[in-house]
Amino acid sequence: MMSDFFETVRKFLTEYLPKQRCLSENTITSYRQAINLFVKFLREVKGYSVIKISFSVIDRKVILEFLDWLEAERKCSASTRNQRLMVLRSFFDYAGIVDCTHISLYTDSLKIPTKNEHGKIVEFLSENALTALLQQPDPGKKTGLRDLTFMVLMYDTAARCFELLGMRIKDLRLNAEHPIAYLHGKGGKTRTVPLLPKTVQHCKRYLSRFHAGEHSNSEEYVFYTVSHGMRHKMSHDTAADFMDKYCSLAAPQCSEMPGHLHPHMIRHTRAMHLYRAGMPLELLAQFMGHSNSESTRVYAYADTEMKRAALEKIESKSTVQKSVPAIWEDDEDMILRLSGLI
């Protein structure tokens, strides 16, 4: 029999959020990911088996430990930590509505403050680090081909992870004169992004192995996992896990690799590379699927290399100007005239 905890989770995700709060599929996916992480923490850190997980093992201390684990072990930012806390608050609020004995969990979560977000720090890969990362998957192996194609396509399109996970075969137009991909983003908005020839090659190779014989207008998810003989849309955790694994493998080969890699970092990487290549912020905002260019300005603020280059250029000009000899140098009469002595 399903425990009260998991029964409440099921109703929260499949009934309350979509039918009562009318949240979008992407938002519900975000909620599901947060609760999955909480269950992962309870199993791997607290040592509870699935059948032992219930509301009785959760209190304010456990919630705080979970939030600390997110920051220390998963390297989550303050904003991500706050988002996970908001999800738990919403879930415990619902649990209290279903069963008043759980109200205390909601009140306990309210006593946990959010953390200040001291400006956004955009993490991205250098070109050397990106190259090292993409060299790690073995395309000769089935999972290696899948992982490589996923990362190449994410970089080329600057897709959000959920956009790529939700992509269906019909969203790829690989045989068109100008190959494109359709990305279904936030708020149900769809945008069209061009694909580079090398990306098209990766995708065709992948489709021939994972979707052999399927029609180009197929509704099947491009990226999937198989469980009990059934295909399922690949999860965010699966993508995050294999990216972090390849990051660790690439680290000994490239000193520029970060200590931890999350899927969104590849999206940031593409944005920074395009910005440095000269793409205007307004066009970059459209490419990234931002509703306004303000969200895109974070890349301009984060580009320390361009700032450094600008400062060095100014400094070099200043140095050149300082090296030009003064017109009065070695002219004693002019020095005396300028001094007002003659």
Domain ranges of the chain: 4-110, 127-302
The whole-angstrom separation of Cα 208 and Cα 200 is 12
Query: Which stretches of the chain score pLDDT less than 70?
Result: 1-2, 117-121, 291-295, 297-342
Nearest Cα residue to 42 out of 8, 60, 65, 68: 65
For residues 299 and 284, the answer to whether their CB atoms sit within 8 Å is: yes
- pLDDT for the residue numbered 108: 87
- CA–CA distance, 142 with 211 (Å, rounded to integer): 12
Q: Which residues have a Cβ under 8 Å from the Cβ of 38 and sit 6 or more positions away?
A: 66, 84, 88
User: What is the predicted pLDDT for the residue at 314?
Assistant: 47
Bridge partners (DSSP) of residue 193 are 181
Which CATH architecture fits 4-110?
Orthogonal Bundle (1.10)
In the block, tokens 């944005």 appear at: 271
pLDDT at 197: 95
Report the pLDDT value the prediction gives residue 286, as an integer from 0 to 100: 81
Homologous superfamily, domain 127-302: Intergrase catalytic core (1.10.443.10)
Q: List the 172-173 sheet strands across, edge first.
A: 172-173, 180-184, 190-194
pLDDT of residue 310: 47
Distance CA 225, CA 272 (A): 31
In this prediction the pTM is 0.59
CB 285 within 8 A of CB 172: no
Per-residue pLDDT reduced to its tens digit, 42-78: 999 999 999 999 999 999 999 999 999 999 999 888 8
pLDDT of res. 114: 84
Question: In this predicted structure, what is the pLDDT of residue 27?
Answer: 85
Measured between alpha carbons, how far is 163 from 340 in angstroms, rounded to an integer? 75
Could you identify the residue written with the tokens 């029964």? 7
Q: What is the pLDDT of residue 327?
A: 52
